[in-house]
Amino acid sequence: MDNTAIKVLVVLVSLWISYVQAIQSGRFSAVLAFGDSILDTGNNNLLMTVSRSNFIPYGRDFSHHVPTGRFGNGRVLSDLVAAGLGVKELLPAFRSPFLKSSELSTGVCFAFGGSGLDKFTASIQNVIWVQDQVNDFQRYIEKLNAQVGDPAQVKQIIANAVILISAGNNDLGITYFSTPAKSTRYTIQAYTDLLIGWKTTFINSLYDLGARKFAVLGTMPLGCLPGARQLLGNLICLPNVNYGARVYNEKVANLVNQYSQRLPDGKFVYIDMYNSLLEVIQNPTQYGFTTARPCCCSVMTPIPCLFSGGHVFWDFAHPSEKAYKTILPKILNTIQSNLA
């Protein structure tokens, strides 16, 4: 056996041992993130879109103060979930030209900032539609097979990966409540039914490709995002927008429950982003924040704040890294309790 063959064999054995150890310790093999900017770690960087964040002051608190395309001051939720589950410290963007093949087996991010379940949502911002992220997932599986060299092992890696999904924030916040063509054509009940139909198709597509452990995020309290609140002088959250988010989230939770009953060989859990973040927004000082106003990049804060750790929000729509960390323990507990 030549040296090259020996090296390949060592890599395969090492990967298999790592996977078996992960199973035995109750850990997950990987984290695979889909959806929108809550999870995007830089996939938008090479797109011709205004939904980009690979410029300062974004990434101000990231390692080496580098703007990576994450929509925040530091790590985003997908990074923190991957780190909290003991998988890896950072979740790389699948479309990054700097992605290393060694990263594939522990997971990547397929999410695109500005994307949604409604194809219209993605098209108006020229980003990749959530359903088309399945195409990237298929390419990922091909690359993982090439790296690992064992289809059975690849199947096990994917089956034991946490599939993290955040989709619906932009469909409601941008497409429905900011586009008269949608809100006049559909009631909120009818539009959220459409979103659930598209979400079902999306989850089915991932399941058919071998995914088995799904953590499905509800939307944030969209009426309380700084960009929404500024419409009323930052005095109150927009009640109609929050109502729409609650209607949608209830349907998502019901969908996840239906999947749990219908597909016993899969595991599904709903992640309540709405109430977790709303509690922090309404009581910022109790959680170590000074304000729920954004730190930067909004009409209210044209000049970035000096200390982002005092702000619940980084910009007009995205929580700060500290805010994500504040709600992270409950998210991790939910995932570990239901998907391990």
Active site residues: 37, 315, 318
Query: What whole-number distance in Å separates Cα of residue 197 and Cα of residue 195?
Result: 5
Query: What whole-number distance in Å separates Cα of residue 238 and Cα of residue 231?
Result: 8
Strand residues in 156-290 grouped as ranges (E): 162-166, 213-217, 267-271
Kindly give, in sequence order, each residue whose CB lies less than 8 Å from that of residue 27, ignoring residues fewer than 6 positions away: 21, 85, 86, 87, 340
Kindly give, in sequence order, each residue whose CB lies less than 8 Å from that of residue 192, ignoring residues fewer than 6 positions away: 172, 244, 247, 248, 251
132 DSSP assignment: T
Q: What is the largest CA-CA distance in the chain?
A: 72
**Kind and range of the H or E element at 17?**
helix 3-24
**Kind and range of the H or E element at 332?**
helix 321-339
Residue with tokens 């098209």: 123
Kindly give, in sequence order, each residue whose CB lies less than 8 Å from that of residue 340, ignoring residues fewer than 6 positions away: 26, 27, 28
Residue 60 Cα distances to 69, 71, 100, 331, angstroms: 12, 11, 24, 25
